[in-house]
Structure 1
Amino acid sequence: MKDSPQRRYEGRRRRTSSLATRLFLSATAWVVIILVITGFVLSSVYRQAVERSFDRRLNLYLRTLIAEAATPDENAEHQFQSLGEPLFEIPLSGWYWQIGRLDSEKPDVRSSRSLWDKELPALNEADSRLTAAGVRIGYVTGPEDQRLRMVVRQVDFGSDGRFLVRVAGDASEIFDETRTFDYYLGGTFAALTLVLVVTTIFQVRFGLAPLKRISEALAAIRSGRAERLEGEFPVEIAPLARETNALIDANREIVERARTHVGNLAHAIKTPLSVIVNEANAHRGDPFAAKVLEQTQLMRNMVAHHLERARIAARVTVVGTVTDVAPVIEGLRRTMAKIHRDRDISVEATCPDGAKFRGERQDLEEMVGNLVDNACKWARSQVSVEVVLLPPTGSEPTSTLHILVDDDGPGLSPAERAQVARRGQRLDESKPGSGLGLAIVVDLAALYQGSLTLGAAPTGGLRSELVLPAVA
């Protein structure tokens, strides 16, 4: 089934809401992604800075050891005591140095007191890097499974031999300092993320506020509470509001022109038909004239039907038309009671206060009038009209009017109900009318995305249920 205008509007409104949600989620996602990437970059940069500072410290000890080894002190007890780091004296402190000969079958190894009788492990070339000064730097696992940062350099003292000098420091200093930085960085970025998310919420909320105003204004136009988009809009939204108002004005102009053309066409067709009828009436005894009168009447009915459809189609395109239902129902009740006064037909009507039809008054009068008039023609003594206003449901997102017209006449079988709803079909020629009443009601209801259903009334006659869009 084709979506009604209200359904299309509700869909646009939901899409507007989802647009705000998508903008917020997208902005939040980008903020989080950027902050996470920035956090990783800053953490990596800081870790490298800490390692460089640590390496400079190790290289200082390395150069000092090389200088001590190159100029042996006459007093061997005091050799290598000028490093100035007490941790080299504390057993298994994590700070170690070691010097070993490379050109002797039994290498002479000297170590810091902190090593005790342990040795520093070799540095894996795959897990280390070599500097321009010939120093290899990397991480190793030392005594007591300590994680060490170590610098290694081979030194050739000429006739004194070749030596391998190694200095290692406790890498937990690097890890602890980096971890502390990461904690502060994570806390700072978490607070920054919260601030940016709140800022984004305000930006999206207030940035899309003009669109929400336009959405509410369009709802007001659709419900008949307003005719145009009013108020001041931002520079970016103002063209949209102007074009929307221009579209509404153009729509009204088109409808007015259509009404004018329909009226002109009706007058243009009626004149030649009247001439044909008058000529045929002048020769009533002629079978040909009788046939002309018969076909002319059919033409009149068809023209009336299609002109009425054109007129209705032009009217239902007007945006924002709303009609109070109770006055229409009460007026029809009084009118039909007077028309069928000679048959003593009782016409009763009930309608809830505030019920409104989303359409033009004359269309509602025509639809309900046809149904009530048809019920009065067939009723024995009683016709009732009941209006029920149903709120939106899951299957029907808009409010609907259910107008029930019951009579206590003979009623119709299911096959007869299907027949009388077709244009020009009449079950009893003795009753006045052209057979177009119910067909016009069906067409009118369809143009408003409504429906007409025929069934059995509780009083034994026919029940006509007309469903139309309502204003909540």
Structure 2
Amino acid sequence: MRVRPIGPRSLTARVLLLATAWSAVALVVISVVILQLYRQSSDRAFTDLLRAQLYNVINSITIGEDNKLSGNPQLGDLRFSQPETGWYWIIEPLGTFAATPLSSSSLGTSNITVPTILAVPFNNRYERFYPTRDAFGNHVLVAETEVVLDGEGRAARFRVSGNLDVVEDDVRSFSRSLYIALAVFGVGSLIVNGLAILYGLQPMDAARRALERVRRNEAERLEGEFPREIMPLANDINALIESNRRIVERARMQVGNLAHSLKTPIAVLLNESRMLDKVQSDLVQTQAETMQAQVQTYLNRARIAAQRESLLARTDVEPVMERLMRVIRRLNPEREFHLSLLPPGQFLAMEQQDIEETVGNLLENAARFCKTAVWVTVTPYAHPATEGDASRRHWVEILVEDDGPGLDPDQISEAMKRGKRLDESKPGAGLGLSIVKEIASEYQGQFELGRAAQGGLQARLILPGLSKDAA
């Protein structure tokens, strides 16, 4: 059984898909991490800015001779003087210190909501920071502390607020720049990775082309320079091809030796049968011819078993069929023979002599029983995957049809039996159809008989083919 790949069947596509997926995930994670780090840095910088502004305000405020708060903080930021900006400073006396509070002109007559100390306690520096909203809906961050202003213990609470939209705008601007930079970097990385992967996998493509040359009989082994990682595989494939070639040659040699060794005894039997009386002579001669045909059949089966699934089993259908049609036309000049190959350029994963034997037997039967004409059609066939046959994906259908009397279903089952002849007046040993069936079965194909559209017999062969890439 062939192992079915998971995902894309192309190794290049798989590597590119994995590299793209990993790059996308990595860029997303990197962008999230960088944005988070930048936000933390921006928040920390914003907090430090508010702390600095807070102590500037503290340093600018004193208690005057009239026991009132006095001072005019100059923070160097016009937003503290512009209304409703979210940038404010506020000074409130504490305890028995009954002075008038001071605030920036940007706050006007409004105030800021302040959480309780229990809700937001002071830190070890006696500072606290908390987000809130001002009366104008601005989201602000407040820095607060309490300071004793003189030796009499009079104290005040100081607050400085800043608009958090500044941080958000800064983070958004940075994120846009980051996304653009990462997008450019990601596209560039994918292009570079793709080129590197294609370059790195070129030896695999070279190995595939070398294997195709072996399939097309243009080379006897994988040839070329391969990297260290692929060289063991190429060497193993070359060893497999060489081993397969030796097995096939050995099988052919054994077939030839066996045929040669049986040829003389069978010829002697046939010669000796002529010296007997007619009844015994006919009996011995018939059995000897049958034995000769059966021996040849099983020798063919042994050869097919040795050759099947070989990388070298490849035959172009068109020249073989045209040669068979020329021979059958020459032997039967009074009949018409029509050949149709759609599309041309089809290949069978079979030995040429096996194709000639199967189709030749069918042509001989059709020519023997037809009235006027025989039609041969060769087309691709979508064969459903069956148990034990999932490795084949390309099939070819060969139809041999005639306009003769045809066969009934009962006669078809009888005709498929070895040595069975329905018409004893015609020459033959009754082995032709059974040989065709056995050869098709050895190649994991199919052979069926039925009624042709022209009224005669239809012989249907389903044989293993080769795709255009493999051919």
- TM-score w.r.t. structure 2 length? 0.78
**Alignment equivalent of 1:363, drawn from 354, 361, 365:** 354
Point out the more displaced range, 39-48 or 121-130: 121-130
Report what 2:407 is aligned to: 412
Q: 1:15 to 1:56 in 2, by over 3 A?
A: closer
Cα drift, residue 441 of structure 1? 0.8
**Alignment equivalent of 2:312, drawn from 310, 313, 320:** 320
1:453 pairs with 2:448:
yes
Point out the more displaced range, 424-433 or 296-305: 296-305
Report what 1:154 is aligned to: 146
Kindly, what percent of the aligned residue pairs are identical? 34
Report what 1:171 is aligned to: 164
The alignment partner of 1:140 has SS state of: strand
Cα drift, residue 79 of structure 1? 2.7
Cα drift, residue 281 of structure 1? 11
CA contact (8 A) 2:8 2:14 kept: no
The alignment partner of 2:427 has SS state of: coil
The alignment partner of 1:94 has SS state of: coil
Q: Over residues 152-189 of structure 1, what are the superposed CA-to-partner deviations in whole Å (9 max), with x where a residue is unaligned?
A: 12345674245432211222222222222122112212
CA contact (8 A) 1:127 1:139 kept: no
CA contact (8 A) 2:144 2:159 kept: yes
The alignment partner of 2:89 has SS state of: strand
The alignment partner of 2:63 has SS state of: coil
Q: Over residues 381-435 of structure 1, what are the superposed CA-to-partner deviations in whole Å (9 max), with x where a residue is unaligned?
A: x45353x343576979747352424253x32112211221233333234443332
CA distance in 2, matches of 1:119, 1:97: 10
Report what 1:33 is aligned to: 25
Report what 2:398 is aligned to: 402
Cα drift, residue 274 of structure 1? 8.9
Letter matched to residue 428 of structure 1: D
Cα drift, residue 366 of structure 1? 0.9
CA distance in 2, matches of 1:127, 1:16: 62
CA distance in 1, matches of 2:461, 2:285: 35
The within-5 A match list for 1:138-217 is 138-155=130-147, 159-217=152-210
CA contact (8 A) 1:406 1:464 kept: no
Letter matched to residue 75 of structure 2: G
Cα drift, residue 147 of structure 1? 1.6
Q: 1:317 to 1:167 in 2, by over 3 A?
A: closer
The alignment partner of 2:129 has SS state of: strand
CA distance in 2, matches of 1:167, 1:330: 100
The alignment partner of 1:16 has SS state of: coil
Letter matched to residue 154 of structure 1: E
Report what 1:384 is aligned to: 374
1:427 pairs with 2:422:
yes
Q: 1:260 to 1:117 in 2, by over 3 A?
A: same
Report what 1:372 is aligned to: 363
The within-5 A match list for 1:266-281 is none
CA contact (8 A) 1:421 1:439 kept: yes
CA distance in 2, matches of 1:32, 1:124: 47
Q: 1:397 to 1:268 in 2, by over 3 A?
A: closer
CA distance in 1, matches of 2:396, 2:432: 23
**Alignment equivalent of 1:99, drawn from 91, 94, 109:** 91
The alignment partner of 1:115 has SS state of: coil
CA distance in 1, matches of 2:53, 2:65: 21
Report what 1:117 is aligned to: 109
The alignment partner of 1:466 has SS state of: strand
Letter matched to residue 249 of structure 2: E
Unaligned runs of 5+ in 2: 385-391
The alignment partner of 1:144 has SS state of: coil
Letter matched to residue 421 of structure 2: R
Letter matched to residue 64 of structure 1: N
Report what 2:387 is aligned to: none
What RMSD over aligned residues (CA atoms) do the two structures have, in Å?
Answer: 4.4
Cα drift, residue 312 of structure 1? 2.0
Q: Which structure has greater helix proportion? A: 1
CA distance in 2, matches of 1:258, 1:125: 99
- TM-score w.r.t. structure 1 length? 0.78
Cα drift, residue 458 of structure 1? 5.4
CA distance in 1, matches of 2:37, 2:135: 29
1:248 pairs with 2:244:
no
Q: Over residues 340-391 of structure 1, what are the superposed CA-to-partner deviations in whole Å (9 max), with x where a residue is unaligned?
A: 7xxx8536353659655423221122112211222344346x45353x3435
The alignment partner of 1:143 has SS state of: coil
Cα drift, residue 205 of structure 1? 3.4
How many residue pairs get matched?
456
CA contact (8 A) 1:366 1:441 kept: yes
Letter matched to residue 243 of structure 1: D
